[in-house]
Amino acid sequence: MSYVDEVYERVVAKNPAEPEFHQAVKEFLESIRPVVDKHEEEYRKTALLERLTEPERQIRFRVPWVDDKGQVQVNTGYRVQFNSAIGPYKGGLRFHPSVYLGIIKFLGFEQIFKNSLTGLPIGGGKGGSDFDPKGKSDREVMAFCQSFMTELYRHIGADTDVPAGDIGVGGREIGFLYGQYKRITGLYEGVLTGKGLTYGGSLARTEATGYGLLYFTKELLKINGKDIKGMTAAVSGAGNVAIYAIQKAQQMGVKVLTCSDSTGWIYDPDGIDVATLQEVKEVHRARLTEYKAKRPNSVYHEGRGVWVTKTDLALPCATQNELTLDDAKTLVENGCIAVCEGANMPTTLDATEYLKSHGVIFGPAKAANAGGVATSALEMSQNSERLSWTFEEVDQKLQQIMINIVHNIDNAAREYGKEGDYAAGANIAGFLKVADAMQAQGIV
Ligand code: NDP
Protein backbone atom coordinates (compact mmCIF):
# COMPACT_ATOMS: atom_id res chain seq x y z
CA MET A 1 0.00 0.00 0.00
CA SER A 2 1.29 3.49 -0.77
CA TYR A 3 2.39 5.74 2.07
CA VAL A 4 -0.49 8.17 1.38
CA ASP A 5 -3.09 5.40 1.61
CA GLU A 6 -1.53 4.00 4.77
CA VAL A 7 -1.64 7.38 6.45
CA TYR A 8 -5.24 7.95 5.42
CA GLU A 9 -6.29 4.57 6.84
CA ARG A 10 -4.47 5.38 10.05
CA VAL A 11 -6.23 8.74 10.35
CA VAL A 12 -9.65 7.12 9.92
CA ALA A 13 -8.85 4.40 12.46
CA LYS A 14 -7.41 6.81 15.02
CA ASN A 15 -10.13 9.43 14.68
CA PRO A 16 -13.39 7.49 14.44
CA ALA A 17 -16.70 9.25 13.82
CA GLU A 18 -15.09 12.43 12.51
CA PRO A 19 -16.19 12.39 8.83
CA GLU A 20 -15.38 16.07 8.16
CA PHE A 21 -11.82 15.57 9.37
CA HIS A 22 -11.45 12.43 7.22
CA GLN A 23 -12.78 14.34 4.21
CA ALA A 24 -10.31 17.22 4.65
CA VAL A 25 -7.37 14.83 5.08
CA LYS A 26 -8.41 12.70 2.11
CA GLU A 27 -8.74 15.68 -0.22
CA PHE A 28 -5.34 16.96 0.89
CA LEU A 29 -3.47 13.65 0.73
CA GLU A 30 -4.84 12.78 -2.70
CA SER A 31 -3.50 15.97 -4.19
CA ILE A 32 -0.04 15.87 -2.63
CA ARG A 33 0.47 12.29 -3.86
CA PRO A 34 2.95 13.31 -6.61
CA VAL A 35 5.09 15.19 -4.07
CA VAL A 36 5.00 12.31 -1.61
CA ASP A 37 5.92 9.81 -4.32
CA LYS A 38 9.01 11.87 -5.05
CA HIS A 39 10.16 11.94 -1.39
CA GLU A 40 8.55 8.77 -0.06
CA GLU A 41 11.58 7.32 1.69
CA GLU A 42 12.45 10.50 3.57
CA TYR A 43 8.84 11.27 4.53
CA ARG A 44 8.18 7.71 5.72
CA LYS A 45 11.33 7.58 7.82
CA THR A 46 10.48 10.83 9.57
CA ALA A 47 6.75 9.98 9.73
CA LEU A 48 6.07 13.39 8.25
CA LEU A 49 2.48 12.70 7.24
CA GLU A 50 1.63 11.00 10.54
CA ARG A 51 2.95 14.06 12.38
CA LEU A 52 1.15 16.42 10.04
CA THR A 53 -2.23 14.75 10.58
CA GLU A 54 -1.88 14.55 14.38
CA PRO A 55 -2.59 17.88 16.12
CA GLU A 56 0.23 19.14 18.33
CA ARG A 57 -2.34 19.70 21.06
CA GLN A 58 -6.13 19.41 21.53
CA ILE A 59 -7.83 21.23 24.36
CA ARG A 60 -11.41 20.44 25.36
CA PHE A 61 -13.09 22.17 28.28
CA ARG A 62 -16.30 22.82 30.17
CA VAL A 63 -18.02 26.19 29.70
CA PRO A 64 -20.68 26.81 32.37
CA TRP A 65 -22.72 30.02 32.23
CA VAL A 66 -25.99 31.40 33.59
CA ASP A 67 -28.86 32.26 31.23
CA ASP A 68 -31.36 35.12 31.68
CA LYS A 69 -33.74 32.88 33.65
CA GLY A 70 -31.03 32.11 36.20
CA GLN A 71 -30.56 28.59 34.81
CA VAL A 72 -27.02 27.23 34.54
CA GLN A 73 -26.12 26.03 31.02
CA VAL A 74 -23.10 23.91 30.15
CA ASN A 75 -21.35 23.91 26.76
CA THR A 76 -18.12 22.36 25.52
CA GLY A 77 -15.19 24.48 24.37
CA TYR A 78 -12.36 23.40 22.06
CA ARG A 79 -9.03 24.68 20.84
CA VAL A 80 -7.00 22.50 18.51
CA GLN A 81 -3.41 23.72 18.11
CA PHE A 82 -2.62 21.80 14.98
CA ASN A 83 0.73 22.89 13.66
CA SER A 84 3.22 25.61 14.66
CA ALA A 85 6.02 24.83 12.20
CA ILE A 86 5.87 28.20 10.45
CA GLY A 87 4.45 30.47 13.17
CA PRO A 88 2.13 30.79 16.19
CA TYR A 89 -1.18 28.94 15.88
CA LYS A 90 -3.74 31.08 14.09
CA GLY A 91 -7.34 30.33 13.22
CA GLY A 92 -10.85 31.29 14.17
CA LEU A 93 -13.36 30.30 16.82
CA ARG A 94 -16.72 28.90 15.71
CA PHE A 95 -19.83 29.05 17.92
CA HIS A 96 -22.50 26.82 16.38
CA PRO A 97 -24.57 23.91 17.75
CA SER A 98 -23.00 21.55 15.17
CA VAL A 99 -19.49 22.04 16.58
CA TYR A 100 -17.69 18.95 17.88
CA LEU A 101 -14.06 17.87 17.80
CA GLY A 102 -14.21 16.57 14.20
CA ILE A 103 -15.35 19.95 12.83
CA ILE A 104 -12.64 21.82 14.71
CA LYS A 105 -10.02 19.33 13.51
CA PHE A 106 -11.04 19.61 9.86
CA LEU A 107 -10.92 23.39 10.09
CA GLY A 108 -7.60 23.38 11.98
CA PHE A 109 -6.05 21.00 9.46
CA GLU A 110 -7.09 23.14 6.47
CA GLN A 111 -5.90 26.23 8.29
CA ILE A 112 -2.28 24.97 8.31
CA PHE A 113 -2.02 25.08 4.52
CA LYS A 114 -4.18 28.16 4.06
CA ASN A 115 -1.93 30.08 6.45
CA SER A 116 1.13 28.79 4.65
CA LEU A 117 -0.27 30.03 1.33
CA THR A 118 -0.60 33.60 2.64
CA GLY A 119 3.21 33.78 2.75
CA LEU A 120 2.96 35.09 6.33
CA PRO A 121 4.46 33.45 9.44
CA ILE A 122 1.37 31.81 10.95
CA GLY A 123 0.74 28.22 12.03
CA GLY A 124 -2.61 26.43 12.01
CA GLY A 125 -5.24 26.17 14.75
CA LYS A 126 -8.98 26.39 15.26
CA GLY A 127 -11.42 26.42 18.16
CA GLY A 128 -15.00 26.98 19.17
CA SER A 129 -17.96 25.66 21.03
CA ASP A 130 -21.36 24.04 20.53
CA PHE A 131 -22.87 27.22 22.00
CA ASP A 132 -25.54 28.80 19.75
CA PRO A 133 -25.51 32.61 19.91
CA LYS A 134 -28.74 32.73 17.91
CA GLY A 135 -31.67 34.05 19.95
CA LYS A 136 -29.48 34.79 22.99
CA SER A 137 -29.46 38.19 24.66
CA ASP A 138 -26.29 40.28 24.63
CA ARG A 139 -25.89 39.53 28.34
CA GLU A 140 -26.10 35.78 27.73
CA VAL A 141 -23.53 35.99 24.91
CA MET A 142 -21.24 37.99 27.20
CA ALA A 143 -21.65 35.50 30.05
CA PHE A 144 -20.78 32.65 27.71
CA CYS A 145 -17.77 34.45 26.17
CA GLN A 146 -16.39 35.36 29.59
CA SER A 147 -16.66 31.78 30.81
CA PHE A 148 -15.14 30.45 27.58
CA MET A 149 -12.16 32.80 27.89
CA THR A 150 -11.72 32.04 31.60
CA GLU A 151 -10.40 28.65 30.48
CA LEU A 152 -9.00 29.50 27.05
CA TYR A 153 -6.75 32.38 28.22
CA ARG A 154 -4.13 30.03 29.68
CA HIS A 155 -3.57 28.38 26.28
CA ILE A 156 -3.27 31.45 24.05
CA GLY A 157 -1.06 34.53 23.70
CA ALA A 158 0.18 37.06 21.12
CA ASP A 159 3.23 34.89 20.36
CA THR A 160 1.71 31.44 20.90
CA ASP A 161 -1.86 31.22 19.63
CA VAL A 162 -4.03 34.02 18.26
CA PRO A 163 -7.71 33.13 17.66
CA ALA A 164 -10.14 35.14 15.51
CA GLY A 165 -13.80 34.90 14.46
CA ASP A 166 -15.65 32.34 12.34
CA ILE A 167 -19.30 31.27 12.14
CA GLY A 168 -21.17 32.77 15.11
CA VAL A 169 -18.18 34.79 16.28
CA GLY A 170 -18.16 38.36 15.00
CA GLY A 171 -17.18 41.74 16.42
CA ARG A 172 -19.49 41.48 19.44
CA GLU A 173 -18.10 38.13 20.57
CA ILE A 174 -14.47 39.11 19.93
CA GLY A 175 -15.03 42.22 22.10
CA PHE A 176 -16.36 40.19 25.03
CA LEU A 177 -13.59 37.60 24.67
CA TYR A 178 -10.88 40.25 24.50
CA GLY A 179 -12.22 42.12 27.54
CA GLN A 180 -12.11 38.97 29.65
CA TYR A 181 -8.60 38.03 28.45
CA LYS A 182 -7.33 41.48 29.38
CA ARG A 183 -9.07 41.38 32.74
CA ILE A 184 -7.58 38.02 33.69
CA THR A 185 -4.05 38.53 32.39
CA GLY A 186 -3.65 42.30 32.66
CA LEU A 187 -2.10 42.22 29.20
CA TYR A 188 -3.08 44.59 26.42
CA GLU A 189 -1.74 42.49 23.60
CA GLY A 190 -2.79 41.28 20.16
CA VAL A 191 -4.11 37.95 21.40
CA LEU A 192 -7.22 38.00 19.22
CA THR A 193 -7.81 39.43 15.77
CA GLY A 194 -11.00 40.87 14.35
CA LYS A 195 -10.98 43.36 17.23
CA GLY A 196 -12.91 46.63 17.15
CA LEU A 197 -11.15 49.65 15.68
CA THR A 198 -11.04 51.46 19.03
CA TYR A 199 -9.02 48.68 20.70
CA GLY A 200 -6.44 47.39 18.28
CA GLY A 201 -8.48 46.12 15.35
CA SER A 202 -7.32 46.55 11.77
CA LEU A 203 -9.18 48.50 9.15
CA ALA A 204 -10.41 46.16 6.39
CA ARG A 205 -10.35 43.03 8.60
CA THR A 206 -14.16 42.85 8.62
CA GLU A 207 -14.26 42.99 4.83
CA ALA A 208 -11.12 40.93 4.22
CA THR A 209 -12.43 37.40 3.60
CA GLY A 210 -15.18 38.48 1.22
CA TYR A 211 -13.05 41.08 -0.54
CA GLY A 212 -10.14 38.64 -0.73
CA LEU A 213 -12.41 36.03 -2.31
CA LEU A 214 -13.26 38.45 -5.10
CA TYR A 215 -9.64 39.60 -5.63
CA PHE A 216 -8.75 35.93 -5.91
CA THR A 217 -11.63 35.11 -8.27
CA LYS A 218 -10.88 38.06 -10.52
CA GLU A 219 -7.23 37.04 -10.87
CA LEU A 220 -8.07 33.37 -11.37
CA LEU A 221 -10.45 34.28 -14.17
CA LYS A 222 -7.84 36.62 -15.64
CA ILE A 223 -5.20 33.89 -15.93
CA ASN A 224 -7.88 31.85 -17.71
CA GLY A 225 -8.44 34.68 -20.19
CA LYS A 226 -11.74 35.88 -18.72
CA ASP A 227 -12.88 39.25 -17.39
CA ILE A 228 -15.05 39.21 -14.26
CA LYS A 229 -16.78 42.48 -15.18
CA GLY A 230 -20.33 41.97 -16.40
CA MET A 231 -20.68 38.44 -14.99
CA THR A 232 -23.50 37.19 -12.74
CA ALA A 233 -22.98 35.32 -9.48
CA ALA A 234 -24.84 33.15 -7.01
CA VAL A 235 -23.67 33.60 -3.41
CA SER A 236 -24.75 31.46 -0.46
CA GLY A 237 -24.67 32.68 3.14
CA ALA A 238 -25.60 36.05 4.57
CA GLY A 239 -22.88 36.45 7.17
CA ASN A 240 -19.52 38.16 7.28
CA VAL A 241 -17.97 36.44 4.28
CA ALA A 242 -21.08 36.58 2.07
CA ILE A 243 -21.90 40.24 2.73
CA TYR A 244 -18.46 41.56 1.81
CA ALA A 245 -18.10 39.16 -1.10
CA ILE A 246 -21.34 40.56 -2.51
CA GLN A 247 -20.20 44.13 -1.90
CA LYS A 248 -16.85 43.68 -3.66
CA ALA A 249 -18.43 41.67 -6.50
CA GLN A 250 -20.77 44.54 -7.18
CA GLN A 251 -17.89 47.03 -7.10
CA MET A 252 -16.25 44.88 -9.77
CA GLY A 253 -19.34 45.02 -11.97
CA VAL A 254 -20.72 41.58 -11.09
CA LYS A 255 -24.46 41.16 -10.54
CA VAL A 256 -25.11 38.97 -7.49
CA LEU A 257 -28.54 37.37 -7.66
CA THR A 258 -28.75 35.29 -4.47
CA CYS A 259 -27.87 34.95 -0.80
CA SER A 260 -29.04 32.50 1.88
CA ASP A 261 -29.16 31.78 5.59
CA SER A 262 -29.76 28.66 7.62
CA THR A 263 -33.51 28.71 6.95
CA GLY A 264 -33.95 29.94 3.39
CA TRP A 265 -32.64 31.88 0.40
CA ILE A 266 -33.28 35.01 -1.61
CA TYR A 267 -33.37 35.54 -5.37
CA ASP A 268 -33.22 39.23 -6.18
CA PRO A 269 -33.51 39.95 -9.92
CA ASP A 270 -32.23 43.51 -9.35
CA GLY A 271 -29.12 42.25 -7.59
CA ILE A 272 -28.76 41.76 -3.82
CA ASP A 273 -28.93 45.08 -2.00
CA VAL A 274 -26.01 45.06 0.43
CA ALA A 275 -27.30 47.88 2.65
CA THR A 276 -30.59 46.03 3.18
CA LEU A 277 -28.80 42.74 3.81
CA GLN A 278 -26.51 44.42 6.37
CA GLU A 279 -29.46 45.97 8.15
CA VAL A 280 -31.27 42.62 8.32
CA LYS A 281 -28.27 40.51 9.34
CA GLU A 282 -25.75 42.79 11.07
CA VAL A 283 -28.15 45.14 12.84
CA HIS A 284 -31.37 43.18 13.46
CA ARG A 285 -29.83 39.68 13.39
CA ALA A 286 -33.08 38.66 11.66
CA ARG A 287 -34.14 36.11 9.02
CA LEU A 288 -34.03 36.70 5.27
CA THR A 289 -37.84 36.99 5.27
CA GLU A 290 -37.16 40.53 6.50
CA TYR A 291 -35.04 41.16 3.37
CA LYS A 292 -37.96 40.02 1.23
CA ALA A 293 -40.29 42.37 3.10
CA LYS A 294 -38.00 45.32 2.37
CA ARG A 295 -37.37 44.35 -1.29
CA PRO A 296 -40.75 43.35 -2.77
CA ASN A 297 -39.22 42.40 -6.15
CA SER A 298 -37.12 39.67 -4.54
CA VAL A 299 -38.29 36.11 -4.00
CA TYR A 300 -37.83 34.18 -0.74
CA HIS A 301 -37.58 30.36 -0.77
CA GLU A 302 -37.65 28.14 2.30
CA GLY A 303 -34.77 25.67 2.66
CA ARG A 304 -31.64 25.42 0.53
CA GLY A 305 -31.40 25.99 -3.22
CA VAL A 306 -29.27 28.95 -4.38
CA TRP A 307 -27.37 26.76 -6.87
CA VAL A 308 -30.41 26.31 -9.14
CA THR A 309 -29.97 29.94 -10.23
CA LYS A 310 -28.37 30.34 -13.65
CA THR A 311 -25.18 32.39 -13.15
CA ASP A 312 -21.59 32.57 -14.44
CA LEU A 313 -20.06 32.28 -10.97
CA ALA A 314 -20.93 30.31 -7.83
CA LEU A 315 -19.47 31.56 -4.56
CA PRO A 316 -20.41 29.36 -1.59
CA CYS A 317 -19.95 31.45 1.58
CA ALA A 318 -22.05 29.70 4.26
CA THR A 319 -20.72 26.41 5.61
CA GLN A 320 -19.14 23.01 4.89
CA ASN A 321 -20.65 20.55 2.39
CA GLU A 322 -23.32 22.99 1.19
CA LEU A 323 -22.62 22.36 -2.52
CA THR A 324 -23.35 18.73 -3.39
CA LEU A 325 -22.97 16.57 -6.50
CA ASP A 326 -26.55 17.37 -7.60
CA ASP A 327 -25.83 21.08 -7.22
CA ALA A 328 -22.63 20.69 -9.25
CA LYS A 329 -24.57 18.98 -12.03
CA THR A 330 -27.11 21.83 -12.06
CA LEU A 331 -24.34 24.43 -12.16
CA VAL A 332 -22.66 22.71 -15.10
CA GLU A 333 -25.98 22.38 -16.93
CA ASN A 334 -26.59 26.09 -16.41
CA GLY A 335 -23.20 27.02 -17.87
CA CYS A 336 -21.46 28.12 -14.67
CA ILE A 337 -17.79 28.80 -15.48
CA ALA A 338 -16.20 29.10 -12.03
CA VAL A 339 -16.80 28.05 -8.43
CA CYS A 340 -14.69 29.82 -5.81
CA GLU A 341 -15.07 28.84 -2.17
CA GLY A 342 -15.58 31.57 0.44
CA ALA A 343 -16.64 29.10 3.12
CA ASN A 344 -14.39 26.29 4.36
CA MET A 345 -14.88 22.99 2.48
CA PRO A 346 -18.32 23.99 1.15
CA THR A 347 -18.07 21.64 -1.85
CA THR A 348 -18.33 17.90 -1.30
CA LEU A 349 -15.53 15.74 -2.74
CA ASP A 350 -17.68 14.23 -5.50
CA ALA A 351 -19.03 17.65 -6.44
CA THR A 352 -15.48 19.04 -6.65
CA GLU A 353 -14.45 16.19 -8.94
CA TYR A 354 -17.51 16.69 -11.11
CA LEU A 355 -16.89 20.42 -11.50
CA LYS A 356 -13.21 19.95 -12.33
CA SER A 357 -13.87 17.19 -14.82
CA HIS A 358 -16.48 19.34 -16.57
CA GLY A 359 -14.13 22.24 -17.13
CA VAL A 360 -15.40 24.49 -14.34
CA ILE A 361 -12.60 26.65 -12.90
CA PHE A 362 -12.42 25.66 -9.24
CA GLY A 363 -10.90 27.98 -6.62
CA PRO A 364 -10.43 25.98 -3.38
CA ALA A 365 -11.20 27.49 0.03
CA LYS A 366 -7.65 27.19 1.33
CA ALA A 367 -6.56 29.69 -1.27
CA ALA A 368 -9.75 31.60 -2.06
CA ASN A 369 -10.73 32.56 1.49
CA ALA A 370 -7.20 33.10 2.84
CA GLY A 371 -7.73 36.88 2.76
CA GLY A 372 -9.33 36.79 6.21
CA VAL A 373 -6.46 35.16 8.00
CA ALA A 374 -3.92 37.11 5.96
CA THR A 375 -5.47 40.37 7.17
CA SER A 376 -5.57 38.96 10.69
CA ALA A 377 -1.82 38.50 10.40
CA LEU A 378 -1.59 42.13 9.26
CA GLU A 379 -3.57 43.06 12.38
CA MET A 380 -0.99 41.17 14.47
CA SER A 381 1.81 43.15 12.79
CA GLN A 382 0.07 46.45 13.53
CA ASN A 383 -0.48 45.41 17.16
CA SER A 384 3.22 44.53 17.54
CA GLU A 385 4.23 47.84 16.01
CA ARG A 386 1.56 49.71 18.00
CA LEU A 387 0.53 51.39 14.78
CA SER A 388 -2.61 51.47 12.63
CA TRP A 389 -2.43 51.36 8.88
CA THR A 390 -5.00 53.04 6.65
CA PHE A 391 -7.82 51.10 4.99
CA GLU A 392 -6.15 51.57 1.62
CA GLU A 393 -2.80 50.29 2.90
CA VAL A 394 -4.33 47.10 4.30
CA ASP A 395 -6.59 46.60 1.29
CA GLN A 396 -3.62 47.04 -1.05
CA LYS A 397 -1.60 44.42 0.81
CA LEU A 398 -4.62 42.09 0.80
CA GLN A 399 -5.01 42.43 -2.97
CA GLN A 400 -1.35 41.66 -3.52
CA ILE A 401 -1.50 38.62 -1.23
CA MET A 402 -4.51 37.21 -3.12
CA ILE A 403 -2.87 37.80 -6.50
CA ASN A 404 0.31 36.09 -5.28
CA ILE A 405 -1.72 33.12 -4.04
CA VAL A 406 -3.31 32.65 -7.47
CA HIS A 407 0.08 32.57 -9.16
CA ASN A 408 1.65 30.34 -6.50
CA ILE A 409 -1.03 27.70 -6.75
CA ASP A 410 -1.06 27.89 -10.52
CA ASN A 411 2.72 27.39 -10.64
CA ALA A 412 2.65 24.53 -8.11
CA ALA A 413 -0.05 22.75 -10.12
CA ARG A 414 1.96 23.11 -13.33
CA GLU A 415 5.18 21.95 -11.69
CA TYR A 416 3.57 18.68 -10.64
CA GLY A 417 1.78 18.06 -13.95
CA LYS A 418 -1.65 19.16 -12.74
CA GLU A 419 -2.15 22.29 -14.80
CA GLY A 420 -5.46 23.99 -14.06
CA ASP A 421 -6.08 21.89 -10.92
CA TYR A 422 -5.94 24.75 -8.42
CA ALA A 423 -7.08 22.57 -5.52
CA ALA A 424 -4.01 20.39 -6.04
CA GLY A 425 -1.85 23.48 -6.54
CA ALA A 426 -3.07 24.98 -3.24
CA ASN A 427 -2.45 21.78 -1.30
CA ILE A 428 0.99 21.28 -2.82
CA ALA A 429 2.18 24.88 -2.39
CA GLY A 430 0.83 25.06 1.16
CA PHE A 431 2.33 21.71 2.06
CA LEU A 432 5.84 22.26 0.67
CA LYS A 433 6.59 25.20 2.96
CA VAL A 434 5.22 23.51 6.08
CA ALA A 435 6.98 20.22 5.25
CA ASP A 436 10.29 21.97 4.78
CA ALA A 437 9.96 23.82 8.10
CA MET A 438 8.95 20.63 9.93
CA GLN A 439 11.88 18.66 8.53
CA ALA A 440 14.32 21.45 9.40
CA GLN A 441 13.09 21.54 13.02
CA GLY A 442 13.72 17.85 13.69
CA ILE A 443 11.37 15.35 15.27
CA VAL A 444 9.09 17.56 17.32
P1 NDP B 1 -21.24 34.01 9.84
O2 NDP B 1 -21.69 33.38 11.10
O3 NDP B 1 -21.04 35.49 9.79
O4 NDP B 1 -22.26 33.65 8.66
C5 NDP B 1 -22.53 32.33 8.30
C6 NDP B 1 -23.68 32.33 7.31
O7 NDP B 1 -23.91 31.02 6.84
C8 NDP B 1 -24.99 32.80 7.94
O9 NDP B 1 -25.77 33.43 6.97
C10 NDP B 1 -25.62 31.49 8.38
O11 NDP B 1 -27.04 31.55 8.48
C12 NDP B 1 -25.19 30.54 7.30
N13 NDP B 1 -25.02 29.18 7.84
C14 NDP B 1 -24.26 28.80 8.89
N15 NDP B 1 -24.38 27.49 9.11
C16 NDP B 1 -25.25 27.04 8.19
C17 NDP B 1 -25.77 25.76 7.90
N18 NDP B 1 -25.41 24.68 8.61
N19 NDP B 1 -26.64 25.67 6.85
C20 NDP B 1 -26.98 26.77 6.13
N21 NDP B 1 -26.50 28.00 6.36
C22 NDP B 1 -25.65 28.13 7.36
O23 NDP B 1 -19.90 33.24 9.41
P24 NDP B 1 -18.79 33.67 8.38
O25 NDP B 1 -19.40 34.44 7.27
O26 NDP B 1 -17.68 34.24 9.14
O27 NDP B 1 -18.30 32.25 7.86
C28 NDP B 1 -18.87 31.61 6.71
C29 NDP B 1 -17.91 30.55 6.20
O30 NDP B 1 -16.67 31.18 5.83
C31 NDP B 1 -17.52 29.46 7.19
O32 NDP B 1 -17.29 28.26 6.47
C33 NDP B 1 -16.19 29.95 7.75
O34 NDP B 1 -15.41 28.90 8.25
C35 NDP B 1 -15.59 30.56 6.50
N36 NDP B 1 -14.53 31.52 6.73
C37 NDP B 1 -14.74 32.65 7.48
C38 NDP B 1 -13.72 33.57 7.65
C39 NDP B 1 -13.93 34.84 8.35
O40 NDP B 1 -13.01 35.69 8.31
N41 NDP B 1 -15.06 35.09 8.98
C42 NDP B 1 -12.38 33.32 7.10
C43 NDP B 1 -12.28 32.16 6.25
C44 NDP B 1 -13.32 31.29 6.12
P45 NDP B 1 -27.78 32.36 9.66
O46 NDP B 1 -27.76 33.80 9.23
O47 NDP B 1 -29.15 31.77 9.68
O48 NDP B 1 -27.00 32.12 10.90
| pTM exceeds 0.85 | yes
Closest among 214, 176, 222 to 196, alpha carbons compared: 176
What pLDDT is recorded for position 205? 97
Taking the centre of ligand 1 as the mean of its atom positions, its distance from the CA of residue 442, in whole angstroms, is 38
Mean pLDDT over 384-408 rounds to 97
Q: Measuring from each residue's beta carbon to the nearest atom of ligand 1, which residues come in under 6 Å?
A: 165-168, 170, 209, 237-242, 261-262, 317-319, 342-344, 369, 372
Long-range contacts of 323-330 (CB under 8 A, 24+ apart): 323/236, 323/347, 323/348, 323/351, 324/348, 324/350, 324/351, 325/350, 325/351, 325/354, 327/351, 328/352, 328/354, 328/355, 328/358, 328/360, 329/354
pLDDT tens column, 285-330: 999 999 999 999 999 999 999 999 999 999 999 999 999 999 999 9
User: Per-residue confidence at 385, pLDDT binned at 50, 70, 90?
Assistant: very high
In this prediction, residues 392-415 reach a mean pLDDT of 98
Q: Which atom of ligand 1 is nearest to the CA of 259?
A: 9
pLDDT at 404: 98
Q: Whose CA is nearest to atom 40 of ligand 1?
A: 372
Q: Identify the pLDDT of residue 176.
A: 98
Q: What is the pLDDT of residue 343?
A: 98
Which residue of the set 90, 126, 281, 292 is catalytic? Answer: 126
In tens, the pLDDT along 333-352 reads 999 999 999 999 999 999 99
Say whether 114 is catalytic. Answer: no
Q: Atom 39 (ligand 1): residue with closest C-alpha? A: 166
pLDDT tens digits for range 134-164: 999 999 999 999 999 999 999 999 999 999 9
pLDDT for res 236: 98
Give the model confidence (pLDDT) of 227-280 as tens digits. Answer: 999 999 999 999 999 999 999 999 999 999 999 999 999 999 999 999 999 999
- C-alpha to C-alpha distances, 46 to 42, 92, 236, 435, 438, nearest whole angstrom: 6, 30, 42, 11, 10
